[in-house]
Amino acid sequence: MSITNLLQNWSDFRQQHPSDERPHQEYKWAMSIDLDLCTGCNACSVACYAENNLPAVGKEKFSHGHSHHWLRIERYWHNEDREYADQGAQFLPMMCQQCEAAPCETVCPVGATNHTADGLNSQVYNRCVGSRYCNANCPYKARYFNWYDYPTTADVWPAPMEQQLNPDVTVRGKGVMEKCTFCVQRLTVAKSNARTEGRSVHDGEVQTACQQACPTGAISFGNLIDPESRVAKQWEKQQVKLNHDKQAKDAVHDGDKLRGYRILENLRTYPSVMYLEQLREGAI
Amino acid sequence: MGKDIREDIAWAQINKDVLKSLENPKKLYWVILLIAIAMVGVAVGCEIYQYQTGMGVSNKSNSHVWSLYIATFIFWIGMSHSGTLLSAILHLMHADWRKPIYRFAEAMTTFSLMTAGLFVLVHLGRLWMVYYVMPYPNERWVWPNFQSPLVWDMFAIATYLSSSVIFLYVGMIPDLAICRDNIHAGWRKKLYTVLSLGWEGTDRQWRNFRITYLTIACFLIPLAVSVHSIVASDFAMSNMPGWHVTSFPPYFVAGALYSGCAAIITLFVILRYVFKFEEYMTLPIMRKLVRLTFAIAMVWTYLNLIEFSSVWYGHDQTAKDQLIFKATGPYAPYFWAMIFFGSILPLLLAFKRFQTHLPLLFVVSIFLNVGMWLERWMIIGPSFAHGHYPWTWDHDQWPSLVQWGIVFGSFGWFTLLFMVFCKVFPSVSMYEVKEMVYHRTLALKNKPAVKGEH
Amino acid sequence: MSQRHLLALFNDFDEAVAAISELRAANIKGFDFDDLILKSPIEHPEVETVLGDRPIKVQWFTLAGACMGGLLAFTLVASAQANFFSQIKAGKPIVPLPPDFVLTYEMFILGGVFITILGFLICAGLPAKRSPLYSAKVSEDQIGILVKGDEAAVTAFKAIFTKHKALEIQEEAGK
């Protein structure tokens, strides 16, 4: 039976994703983040903690590198020749890039992290054995390991904070890897609602927690396949193509003025998050 | 250079000498055994604490997700390779001098693999789910990810461990029969009777034994090479700068043979001294072993240089930065210690007068292994400290005592296994030493005739 | 007619070889040369050549085991991956060939080694009960020749063995 399956569908099994021509069906979730709008306020990160039941590990564990911010605001400084050092701050919200060819997926020994049909990089907590190979192979180091059993650790959610835990999201025990999911719980609800009504998800119908919380609207999120979605328009305008590891922007007129880029694109991870370069000189 | 073995040793004497090593041990043996058990106890304690509390107590972090466990895992896997080199490659090349020393080298192979296997377990965040890595049929049709180098590791190590246990055992059957015929008391008699499978040394048994031994030796050579190449693939297949290097598999294999040979020298000196095996583990054999080690050390040095220079002249700026970081950053002392112990110190072995100087060789061989351990640590530690993504650089992370405790205990575990082996099984292959003596006698007998022909 | 077993022990290998060749040449009634068993402490092909062509079949087990191991591994791994189709991995095909070849290779070796051992046990007739005619000297330094023949042949055996300076001749009635 298995061998017949193997022989009959051989060409399907040899399909390479995403470089071969077989786009995602219906949905391909993607994001774009305008760094020019980002003020580094950390509201997205806080929203993520609240939405995804992330444990606040505390100062000591944080200092040991055990932090759990699925979405972190990275600060970079360009403060030479500035009157006030803080003027040179630049911010970069970094979360799992939901790569189309994610390096973490191939190396997981148990197949706990996979590419889903709607273009996400999924993480199956109850399959994970904690070899941490995925993090070792993630160039962005956007994966976070449960170094302790946080649900039973005191002061991770001091009362009454446990009341705000999101019932749609599991609380992870020790020894599993976790990462940004693009708020998959929201996506699932939106998709199933749309399916019930016999349509597909509208642009803007579903928002990630970080997007919702961003005061400047720097984050846009949506279905890249839907040409009318905001995110698809942005990608189109910036001439960033999902399945290219080198964007052909320099070839076009004024291509160098386009701001869109993906991080560490040269590693051929094909990330689903596009960043728009910062134009402002400083934070202030 | 003297002869490897005297041709006039009585065969009964060989039996007697080797069987003497199985007699009741001295007090010191028990003392060392207790120390080894205590060391294992430390590791078990650390592991229980880590298991209960979480991996965080080992002081890894989201930048340093791997640490000493993986470094020491490679170290032990590497050490296991020389047993195969001595028993399989030299067997195929009819190098007779391997015969008195291959048995304990093979035991070392087996036990260091068993030690390495434990590190995989210790490393896992959810040890209790380790069976997920194995391909077992289940009603959900969920399989391990066969693309992962860790699954290859699992397959390779399972194959290597079972094959080398079998190889060790099959090669030992004639010797177990000798034990059976000569030891008549207690549980040992029963053990040897069962394990020797009723071996009588008939021509039918020997004939099939010879071809079996040869066949398994042929299988073991590519297997050993593939095992360490696969361990190297854990790194070379990933995209971490400093790991993503094509020369990693041969580099790892050379390093493995190197540390294994150094360990064989160490154990050679110990066994020769403890069991008074001067007649069998002779100085000419040691000299050959030392020369082999020296050659492998130079191969390792060469591959090391290849790796550095290909990074240096390559266009991968990240990898280059990382190399500079290794050589100048907080890890620099360890890096240069690795170069010193791995490439400079073995130059001593080139001098004839040191090649048979046992106390010196003992010390040097231990330091060579320190160097090889540092090499593995230099692959893991600095790479995680200085990866692709600057924001995650973490130069100050240092493994906690829990990790050091487990690494420390692993040496106790190895010592424990090895010491028990030496007292239960003959650590010198009696029948092959006899063969060696026999071949030498034949050669001496035929020599004048050969001369006459000319 | 009842069969008798005789075991003669020799110290000198050349004498043992001579004894065997003589046994072979002497056409003793009720004795089949193929029943002669040589027992020796070491493996020495030189002495075994006088026994004539006795077949070794272990390598066929090896071949079968290795091929089966490799084939089985590839089929199982590839079809397991194919059943896991909903989960694409990182831009790789669902049945990626290079990793599967690695596993095929490992299982090729594993199958080869295991079935070789099985073949060894079968071909060498192990594990077995030791025959009553066995001397611990054989595992030390002496070579033994075990022959089986009719009662009438016993004297002829003994004559040949003593002629070649057998140290000891053990005798036992056959089953």
Which among A197, A196, A217, A194 is positioned nearest to A207, based on CA atoms?
Answer: A217
Q: What integer pLDDT is reported at residue B113 of this predicted model?
A: 92
* Contact present, C100 and C77 (Cβ < 8 Å): yes
Packing angle, helices B430-453 and B149-182, rounded to 10: 80
pLDDT of C57 above 70: yes
- B52 Cα to chain A: minimum distance (Å): 9
Q: How confident is the model over A161-173, as a mean pLDDT? A: 90
Q: What integer pLDDT is reported at residue C173 of this predicted model?
A: 57
* Band (C94; pLDDT cuts 50, 70, 90): confident
Write out chain C residues lying below 8 Å of A10, CB-based. 95
DSSP, residue by residue, C15-71: HHHHHHHHHHHS--TTB-GGG-EEE-SS--HHHHGGG------HHHHHHHHHHHHHH
Q: What integer pLDDT is reported at residue B450 of this predicted model?
A: 45
* Contact present, A102 and A69 (Cβ < 8 Å): no
Same-domain pairing of C38 and C67: no
Q: Is B233 left (phi over 0), alpha (psi -120 to 50) or beta?
A: alpha
Cα–Cα distance list, C134 to B24, B199, C34, C139 (Å): 28, 10, 19, 10
Whole-number Å distance between alpha carbons of A60 and B19:
59
User: Touching A: which chains, 3+ CB pairs < 8 A?
Assistant: B, C
The shortest CB-CB distance from C82 to any of A5, A114, A117 is to A5
pLDDT of A243 above 90: no
Write out chain A residues lying below 8 Å of C72, CB-based. none
pLDDT of C48 above 80: no
Q: Is A181 left (phi over 0), alpha (psi -120 to 50) or beta?
A: alpha
Edge-to-edge strands, sheet with A29-34: A219-223, A29-34, A273-276, A260-261
C81 to chain B, any CB pair closer than 8 A? The answer is yes
Residue-range domains of chain A with CATH: 27-276 (3.30.70.20)
Write out chain A residues lying below 8 Å of C89, CB-based. 105-106, 111, 114-115
Q: Which amino acid is at B191?
A: L
Which among B219, B4, B208 is positioned nearest to B92, based on CA atoms?
Answer: B219
- A106 Cα to chain C: minimum distance (Å): 6
| Class of B30-438 in CATH | mainly alpha
Q: C43, B210: Cβ pair inside 8 Å? A: yes
> Residues with Cβ < 8 Å from A256, sequence gap 6 or more?
A249, A250
- In the block, tokens 């720097």 appear at A218
Quick one: tokens of B251?
């580099």
C78 to chain A, any CB pair closer than 8 A? The answer is yes
Q: Share the mean pLDDT of chain C.
A: 81
CB burial readout B8-21, b (16+ within 10 A) else e: ebebeebbebbbeb
Write out chain C residues lying below 8 Å of B212, CB-based. 58, 116-117, 119-120
In B150-189, the residues whose Cβ lies within 8 Å of chain A are 150-151, 154
Whole-number Å distance between alpha carbons of C151 and C29:
10
Quick one: tokens of B67?
């640490």
- B424 Cα to chain C: minimum distance (Å): 18
- A32 Cα to chain C: minimum distance (Å): 21
Number of domains within chain C: 2
* Contact present, B232 and B251 (Cβ < 8 Å): yes
C94 to chain A, any CB pair closer than 8 A? The answer is yes
A33 SS3 class: strand
- B375 Cα to chain A: minimum distance (Å): 19
Q: What integer pLDDT is reported at residue B452 of this predicted model?
A: 41
Write out chain A residues lying below 8 Å of B147, CB-based. 106-107
Whole-number Å distance between alpha carbons of A220 and A110:
33
Q: What integer pLDDT is reported at residue A96 of this predicted model?
A: 94
Write out chain A residues lying below 8 Å of C84, CB-based. 111
Write out chain C residues lying below 8 Å of A16, CB-based. 91-93
> Residues with Cβ < 8 Å from A191, sequence gap 6 or more?
A27, A118, A201
Q: C146, B178: Cβ pair inside 8 Å? A: no
B386 to chain A, any CB pair closer than 8 A? The answer is no
Q: What integer pLDDT is reported at residue B442 of this predicted model?
A: 80
Q: What integer pLDDT is reported at residue B451 of this predicted model?
A: 44
What residue segments make up the domains of chain B, in order of their start?
A: 30-438
Whole-number Å distance between alpha carbons of A70 and A250:
33
The shortest CB-CB distance from A144 to any of B62, B126, B133 is to B62
Quick one: tokens of C160?
């040949």
A5 to chain C, any CB pair closer than 8 A? The answer is yes
| Terminal Cα-to-Cα distance of chain C (whole angstroms) | 11
Whole-number Å distance between alpha carbons of A24 and A225:
8
3-state helix, strand and coil shares in percent for chain B, rounded to the nearest 5: 75, 0, 25
Q: What integer pLDDT is reported at residue A239 of this predicted model?
A: 86
Q: C82, A104: Cβ pair inside 8 Å? A: no
Residue of C nearest to A269 (CA): C90
Q: Provide the CA B125 distance to its chain's centre, in angstroms.
A: 26
pLDDT of C114 above 90: yes
Bridge pairing between strands C168-173 and A260-261: unpaired
C143 SS3 class: strand
Q: What integer pLDDT is reported at residue C175 of this predicted model?
A: 44
Whole-number Å distance between alpha carbons of B48 and B59:
16
Whole-number Å distance between alpha carbons of B252 and B254:
5
Same-domain pairing of C68 and C50: no
Please tell me which residue, B434 or C71, carries the higher pLDDT value. Answer: C71
Quick one: tokens of B396?
């100050």
> Residues with Cβ < 8 Å from B447, sequence gap 6 or more?
none
Q: What ranges in chain A are assigned the alpha helix state H? A: 2-8, 10-13, 43-51, 59-63, 103-107, 133-137, 184-196, 209-213, 230-237
Residue of A nearest to B236 (CA): A137
Whole-number Å distance between alpha carbons of B70 and B437:
44
Q: A105, C89: Cβ pair inside 8 Å? A: yes
Write out chain B residues lying below 8 Å of A140, CB-based. 388-389, 392
Q: Which amino acid is at B379?
A: I
> Residues with Cβ < 8 Å from A40, sequence gap 6 or more?
A73, A75, A89, A91, A283
Q: What is the pTM of this model?
A: 0.91
- In the block, tokens 């997700």 appear at B65
> Residues with Cβ < 8 Å from B256, sequence gap 6 or more?
B77, B78, B79, B80, B81, B82, B228
Q: Share the mean pLDDT of chain A.
A: 87
Quick one: tokens of C2?
């009842």
In C41-80, the residues whose Cβ lies within 8 Å of chain B are 41-46, 48, 51, 54, 56, 58-59, 62, 66, 76-77, 80
Q: What integer pLDDT is reported at residue B454 of this predicted model?
A: 39
What is this model's ipTM?
0.88
Whole-number Å distance between alpha carbons of B93 and B129:
44
Residue ranges making up the domain that contains C44: 3-55+133-173
> Residues with Cβ < 8 Å from B351, sequence gap 6 or more?
none
* Contact present, B339 and B370 (Cβ < 8 Å): no
Residues in chain B: 454
User: Touching C: which chains, 3+ CB pairs < 8 A?
Assistant: A, B
**Tens digits of per-residue pLDDT, A269-278?**
889 999 998 8
The CB density around residue B454, as the number of other CB atoms within 10 Å, is: 4
B111 to chain C, any CB pair closer than 8 A? The answer is no
Residue of C nearest to B177 (CA): C139
**Chain A residues contacting B via beta carbons under 8 Å:** 61, 64-67, 72, 74, 76, 92, 94, 103, 106-111, 127-133, 135-137, 139-141, 143-149, 174-177, 264, 267
Residues in chain A: 284
Same-domain pairing of C119 and C164: no
DSSP, residue by residue, A123-183: E-TTT-----HHHHH-TT--EEE--S-GGGSTTSS-TTGGGG--TTSPPP-TT-EEE--SS
* Contact present, B11 and C141 (Cβ < 8 Å): yes
Mutate to test the interface with A, among C74, C79, C89 (most CBs of A within 10 A): C89
Q: Which amino acid is at A254?
A: D
C10 SS3 class: strand
Find residue A33's DSSP bridge partners. A219, A275
Quick one: tokens of C88?
């694409």
Residue of A nearest to B391 (CA): A74
* Contact present, C35 and C23 (Cβ < 8 Å): no
A48 SS3 class: helix
> Residues with Cβ < 8 Å from C169, sequence gap 6 or more?
C6, C7, C8, C9, C158, C161, C162
- In the block, tokens 């890890």 appear at B331
Furthest-apart CA pair in chain B: how many Å?
Answer: 79
Please tell me which residue, C89 or A183, carries the higher pLDDT value. Answer: A183
| Terminal Cα-to-Cα distance of chain B (whole angstroms) | 25
Boundary of a domain, candidates C124, C145, C164: C124
* Contact present, C157 and C11 (Cβ < 8 Å): no
- Percent of chain C residues topping a pLDDT of 70: 95
Tens digit of each residue's pLDDT, chain B (454 residues): 567 777 777 888 888 888 888 888 888 889 999 999 999 999 999 999 999 998 989 988 888 999 899 999 999 999 988 888 778 888 888 888 888 888 888 899 999 999 999 999 999 999 999 999 988 888 888 888 898 999 999 999 999 999 999 989 998 998 888 888 887 778 888 888 888 888 888 888 888 888 898 899 899 999 999 999 999 999 998 888 888 888 899 999 999 999 999 999 999 999 888 888 888 888 888 888 899 999 999 999 999 999 899 888 888 888 899 999 999 989 999 999 999 999 999 999 999 888 888 899 999 999 999 999 999 999 998 999 988 988 888 888 889 999 999 999 999 999 999 999 988 898 888 888 888 888 888 878 776 544 443 3
B59 to chain A, any CB pair closer than 8 A? The answer is yes
Same-domain pairing of C50 and C71: no
Q: Which amino acid is at A17?
A: H
B358 to chain C, any CB pair closer than 8 A? The answer is no
Angle at A152 between CA A146 and CA A154, to 5 degrees: 105
Whole-number Å distance between alpha carbons of B371 and B376:
9
Is residue B442 exposed (0-12), middle (13-18) or buried (19+ Cβ within 10 Å)? middle
The CB density around residue B2, as the number of other CB atoms within 10 Å, is: 11
* Contact present, A91 and A102 (Cβ < 8 Å): no
In B152-191, the residues whose Cβ lies within 8 Å of chain C are 152, 155-156, 158-159, 162-163, 166-167, 170, 174, 177-178, 181-182
Q: Provide the CA C95 distance to its chain's centre, in angstroms.
A: 42
The shortest CB-CB distance from B132 to any of A92, A107, A129 is to A129
- In the block, tokens 């050679």 appear at B268
* Contact present, A136 and B238 (Cβ < 8 Å): yes
* Band (A22; pLDDT cuts 50, 70, 90): low
- C149 Cα to chain A: minimum distance (Å): 57
B135 to chain C, any CB pair closer than 8 A? The answer is yes
A–B CB contacts, 8 A cutoff, strictly below = 139
